[in-house]
Amino acid sequence: MSRTTDLASKLVFEVLKVLKENDGELPSSLLMEELSKRVPLDDWAKGILEKTGNIIFAGNQFCISILLT
């Protein structure tokens, strides 16, 4: 499994757990805050993409944006 897939699956799993603990609802800012406590990001995940200059998983926003779209 790729690093991206591995991290994304961990984030999605934690999102579902957090939402379950909060009756299925939580503002995205609080959800991201909780994710940052539960899923630590290593140096790779905090790294910069060469092509775009974006952070790979900036504050877990990648996962949140996928789930909310």
| Consecutive H or E run containing 27 | none
Per-residue pLDDT, 36: 82
Is the model's pTM score more than 0.75?
no
State the Cα–Cα distance between residues 54 and 4, nearest whole angstrom.
14
Whether the pLDDT of residue 2 is over 50: the answer is yes
Phi, psi of 55 (to 5 degrees): -75, 140
State the Cα–Cα distance between residues 69 and 45, nearest whole angstrom.
22
How open is the CA angle 26-55-65, to the nearest 5 degrees? 30
Per-residue pLDDT, 56: 65
pLDDT tens digits for range 6-63? 888 888 899 899 999 999 999 988 888 888 889 888 888 777 777 777 666 654 455 5
